Chains A and B, each alone.
Chain A
Amino acid sequence: MNSSEIDVSKNQSDSEVVLRLRGITKVFGSLVANDDISLELKSGEVLALLGENGAGKTTLMNILFGHYVADSGSVEVFGKNIPEGSPHAAIEAGIGMVHQHFTLADNLSVLDNVMLGTESLWSLSSNRRSGRRHLEELGKRFGLEVQPHVRISELSIGERQRVEILKALYRKARILILDEPTAVLTPQETKDFFETLKKLVKGGLSLIFISHKMQEVLAISDRVAVLRDGSLVTEIKTAAASETELAHAMVGREIELPERKALEAGRSIFKLEDVTVSAGEGRPGLKEVSLNICAKEIVGIAGVSGNGQTALADLISGLAVPQSGIVELHGEIVRRFTPENMLRNKVGRIPEDRHTQGVIGDMSLAENSISECYREAQFSTFGWQNHRNRDRFAENVVSRFDVRGYNSKAPVRLLSGGNMQKLILGRVLSGNPQLILANQPGRGLDVGAVAYVHQQLLSARAEGAAILLISEDLEELLQIADRIAVIHRGQLSETFPRESISIAQLGLLMTGQQNFSTTNYPSAGNNAS
């Protein structure tokens, strides 16, 4: 700590306030995203900002960082008001932000990314040598070593996050905002990341840690502020907080956790035998993957994103054609890989990206509700659409699946993420699918909506559907899957019954540290050695 160049005296007086938000209010249309929020951040403190999706965490931080202008309220950093709506002023004042989605240029080196924007555009030369020295110094001090000349595209997600933090440090940030930093990390990476955070605090930084994961908040923070529906509902010392208390403050209502009944798996519905799917642009395919999913069971696929999940999902969606291997549906070999054929074979697909694949944002809810079955006789006679049946079908989906904010004419992109997912779920389940692909069905949804989605998947399972659940959220998998397999670099491990595997073991498999071939299941993963 003595080596720290940052004002040491600030560290010693624990109570000094470095950042003060006063009465921040921001309204979008009819939605109050932030309602009169006042917060303080003390020097050398980790403040956790806890809240569901849509509670206003990101809006608040965007106001702080100058991306948005608040309707009222002020931001004070180190005792000085900073002008509104200027990220530049926020950086000058010593605020650094690590966004949930990284803002790095993939085709540039680490050093380039870090230095980008720190030098005048008018200067003819770039002082790379001193920049590099400074970067290495920072890396050493905070345990964030990276190789300055390596391109971003060659780095892992964890390393990219390190670069993002270094970028902020290089700009002399003394307050660091981390927006859902662990969302992209494996459990092991998260552990390392927390070590890094401790070093940053020792080095004199104050942190705001945004999350919706309770355990992480309890593990790393000194103080927790809970946001719900745009208002600050609780602010307490972490030491005095309990998980149930925080959960209640965050959600504000009782969430019924889906009930999971033990069921005997039925006959095999979907089978992959040594299936290889060639890699797409910049993403891995599948390498000799074998998998068997039976009726009345949920098989979970765990893995760090970008390890072949997309190829697997595309295969089942009918968007990718396998290079080799056998795909069987209901005991018959699949030969035509088109979305149409998959739908005809009673495959329901919940896509990973609701906006680009799930719905047609500019069309109405009713039009979207029939997008997979519009050719059926009830919706189309001789090419003429039956709007009455369509609207009746849509209303049925809306009421059965509790889609809120329904307006039959308005474009569906105006729906919230949770309601959009309910619409997709309704569309898929209305087709009575026998195989359901659920690719990240809970991503970006609040706790209530996630519980609802899980409930629906479980009841589909009870009715005899086979479900493949792809998720990066290990807790989600352990909650509702019957068996779990891990995907790593396009290879799939054997499946483990949920009772026999822990988060730590899954984490090791996800990073490829545990060899797949230790399995006693000879057909799967035999070339992982």
Chain B
Amino acid sequence: MRLEARTNIPLGFMLLAPVLAVLASFMLCAGLVAWSGVPVLEAYGLLLQGALGSGFALAETLARTTPLIFTGLAAAVAFKSRFWNIGAEGQLYAGALIITVLGTGMLDLPQELMIPVLVICSAVAGALLLLGPVLLKLHFGVDEVVTTLLLNFIVILLVSLLLEGPLKDPMGLGWPQAEPVTEAAELPRLFRGLRLHSGLLLALLLAFIIWIVSIRTTLGYEMRAVGFNQKAARFAGMPVNRVMIMTALISGGIAGIAGYSEVAGMKGNLTLDLSPGFGYTGIVVAMLAQLHPLGVVISATFVASVFVGADAMSRSAGVPSYIADVMVSVSLLCMLVSVLLVRFRIRWS
């Protein structure tokens, strides 16, 4: 058996690949669902119902989509330039931390000013956290996968320390949680009674901006060039190091904003379970989207639907909600396989 490169791949075929990958993953997971003793079609029906079946379900799914768009974009931007930022989780918490410090009373501005200021502050916090790894990589050749990954634990332990200490909410009944942000700092809800907040609009806007930057601006041109072929970019006189640093700052910044969006839009205050691994899931989201900024929106919605739907499915049918993790992972594997099959043809000999 061997692989042969295909020539002239039709566009439709390329767009079909992710759809087929998702279908294949549902089929592969059917066995697991059946094993838990629930009819497969019924379970999948519940999953679909739970994710998209009602206004409430849809709002929950979109609320879950929001942080995944941010972290997915953070990964997509960095990976496109071959900078392997695995630290979106830490950058998210860094953003959340600065918002907690500034937004719980220290800053007092009207809402129209407060929100932009906090968005910028959270972005700066995330960006600064990634500045160290990128400088270490450029000047000493330190592998950014290691540094960004380990920084996640450092930041989360720091948050834990602060939540038990100086940032602990005196009214929190002893729970390790921070004071809620002020009303001016909050991201407004989009509908009364639903958790869906305006962070989603911010995420969509950001995805659009990143896309435009990537295809229309000089910086985007440099970032793609560095990602595709760093040697040729350097040879052509592009400022490779500066582009790498810019990429890292943008990537870290986006992940930092995710922290603000979660604290000020979703939870209201900083807790240790602010992110159930959004940073890591963002990598999956970016890979599913093949690093396309607008694709990130779609893949984030898909991943969020699976998670939210699986929660509903486990509540009403007793299928463990861990199935969501399995499904998302399997769909990523299927995606990688289908991308391979789009580019190559298998020859049996």
Contacts and interface: CB of A to CB of B under 8 A. Distances in A.
Given A29-B7, A384-B218, A360 B237 contact: no
A311 B216 CA distance: 36
Interface string B211-237: 000001111010011001101111111
B217 A361 contact: no
Contacts of A380: 218
B116 interface: no
A461 interface: no
Interface string A83-113: 0110000000000000000000000000000
Contacts of B54: none
A360 B232 contact: yes
Contacts of B229: 356, 359-362
Interface stretch (A54-62, A157-165, A370-378, A511-519): A370-378
Nearest to A367: B221
Contact of B225 (A84, A317, A360): A360
A331 B47 CA distance: 75
Interface string B146-174: 00000000000000000000000000000
Given A340-B237, A385-B216, A359 B232 contact: yes
Contacts of A356: 229, 231-232
Nearest to B8: A29
B36 to A, nearest CB: 44
A375 B218 contact: yes
A251 to B, nearest CB: 27
Interface string A343-385: 1000001010000111111110001000110110000100111
The secondary structure that dominates the A interface is loop
A356 B237 CA distance: 14
A338 interface: yes
B217 A384 contact: yes
Interface string A175-219: 000000000000000000000000000000000000000000000
A357 B232 contact: yes
A363 B227 CA distance: 11
B224 A28 contact: no
Contacts of B235: 317, 319, 339, 349, 351, 357-358
A383 B239 CA distance: 14
A69 interface: yes
Contacts of B219: 383
A502 B206 CA distance: 66
The secondary structure that dominates the B interface is helix
Contact of B236 (A30, A372, A387): A372
Contacts of A384: 216-218
B234 A358 contact: no
Contacts of B233: 360, 371
A278 B328 CA distance: 51
Contact of B237 (A69, A343, A367): A343
Band of interface residues on A:
20 to 34
Given A383-B219, A384-B218, A28 B232 contact: no
Given A29-B8, A371-B225, A339 B237 contact: yes
Nearest to B224: A363
Interface in B316-349: 347, 349
Interface in B1-51: 7-8
Nearest to B238: A371
Interface string A299-326: 0000000000000000001110000000
Contacts of B231: 356-357
B7 A28 contact: yes
Contacts of A374: 218, 221
Contacts of A349: 235
A319 B235 CA distance: 7
Nearest to B213: A383
B217 A383 contact: yes
Interface string A456-467: 000000000000
B232 A358 contact: yes
B236 A385 contact: no
A384 B229 CA distance: 22
B344 to A, nearest CB: 14
Contacts of A361: 228-229
Contact of A360 (B217, B218, B228, B349): B228
A29 B6 CA distance: 8
Nearest to A390: B221
Interface in A274-319: 317-319
A57 to B, nearest CB: 21
Contact of A385 (B7, B221, B228, B239): B221
A401 B221 CA distance: 24
Interface in B99-118: none
Contacts of A85: 349
A233 B32 CA distance: 62
Given A30-B7, A357-B231, 19 more contacts: A69-B347, A85-B349, A318-B237, A319-B235, A340-B239, A351-B235, A356-B229, A356-B232, A358-B232, A358-B235, A359-B232, A360-B229, A360-B232, A360-B233, A362-B229, A363-B228, A371-B236, A385-B218, A387-B216
6 contacts: A85-B349, A356-B232, A360-B229, A360-B233, A380-B218, A385-B221
5 A-B pairs with least C-beta separation: A29-B7, A340-B237, A339-B237, A371-B236, A362-B228
